[in-house]
Structure formats: structure tokens, C-alpha cells
Amino acid sequence: MRLVLLMFSMATLGLLKAQDQKSDSVEINKNRGYIVNIGDKPGNIQFNLTDGNTLHLHDLRDKIVVLQFTASWCSVCRKEMPHLEKEVWQRFKNEGFILIGIDFDEPLEKVLAFKKQMKTTYPMALDPDALIFQEFAHKRAGVTRNVVIDKNGKIAYLTRLYDRNEFEGMVGKIEELMGE
């Protein structure tokens, strides 16, 4: 009898755990992994840049900010980065705008090599343990994403993966915000 009760308990726990994992997966997919929404104001995040400088998000008020979450192992990130460099950074960098690449939990040497290989000139920040990433998305949600923040510090646009139409929508939103 004890054995039957023990087996029943173990099976029930296994089902509950599977249900919890399924719930987590549904929650992550519901908002494309984001835990923030358009209109939210992120906290005063500190960015430790690969050049040794430090920036704080609150110090970037009065600028349009794009946070690009990336990693050297991410093929979609690699596909998107040349477009960010040419169509976003090079176009807007001298107009009250900053694009910061935030590398998902990789050491400085790897991030510097990645930046060089990708031929990007926009600033890159380190994100040990993906703590900055987790201010915006679930840690297991997938890295390729951009967060556009307006001059008042509010999230204005969110992207996920590299979809040309969504990318163009992001560029349009930046244009709109730059004109305000």
C-alpha cells in the first residue's frame, strides 16, 4: 500500500511540475518573452561599456535610446546587427540618439572580438548573468530583441527576432520620436 501511495505521489508531483513548466512557457510566449510593455519606464540601469565607460539610463533622458540585446552565438543577432549599424546607428547617431548593444552574459574578450567581427561602431555593454536582460524579458525568452525608449524614459517600441517589417516599424518609430 505504501508503495502504491508513494508511486501515486511521485506521479502527481511530476504532473504538477510539467504543468508549471507549461505555464512558464505560455507566459513567456504570451508577450514574446517580454516582462515590460510599451509605456513602461525602466529603472535606472547601469551599463558597463566595453571601452571601460559607464552609462546610466536616467542620464540618457532627452535622447532616444535603443537597447539591442545580442550575443556572439546568436545567428539572428548576427543577421540583424549590420542593419542596426547602417540603418539606425549611422543614420541617427549625431541627432540626440544612442544605440547600446547589450551582450548576453559573455566575457569582455569575447564581446570585443564579436564587435570587431561584426564591424559595429555603436557602444556595447556587458551583461553578466543577463541581469539587464531580465529587467525586460524572461531569462529563457531568447536574446534577439530591441527596446526603443523615448526622450521621457518610456518604452516606445519592442522588437523580437529579426523581422524586416518589424525592423522597419522600429525605424519608423525612431523617426517619429526624433521629430517630436
Sheet holding 145-149, edge to edge: 54-56, 46-49, 124-127, 97-104, 64-70, 145-149, 155-160
Domain boundaries in the chain? 1-30, 33-179
Cα→Cα distances 155→79, 111, 135, 177, Å: 24, 26, 12, 11
CA 49 to chain centre: 16
pLDDT at 3: 53
Residues 6+ apart with CB under 8 A from 65: 57, 97, 98, 99, 100, 148, 149
pLDDT at 103: 97
Model pLDDT for residues 129-174, shown as the tens digit of each residue: 999 999 999 988 989 999 999 999 999 999 999 999 999 999 999 9
End-to-end CA distance of the chain: 73
pLDDT band at 32 (very low <50, low <70, confident <90, very high): confident
pLDDT at 29: 54
pTM for the full model?
A: 0.83
Retrieve residue 168's grid coordinates.
522597419
> In this model, does residue 25 exceed pLDDT 50?
no
Q: Residue 140: which of 44, 54, 25 has the closest Cα?
A: 25
pLDDT at 31: 85
> In this model, does residue 16 exceed pLDDT 70?
no
Question: Under CATH, which architecture does the 33-179 domain have?
Answer: 3-Layer(aba) Sandwich (3.40)
CA–CA gap between residue 174 and residue 177 (Å, rounded): 5
CA within 13 Å, CB half, 14? 6
Model pLDDT for residues 56-94, shown as the tens digit of each residue: 999 998 999 999 999 999 999 999 999 999 999 999 999
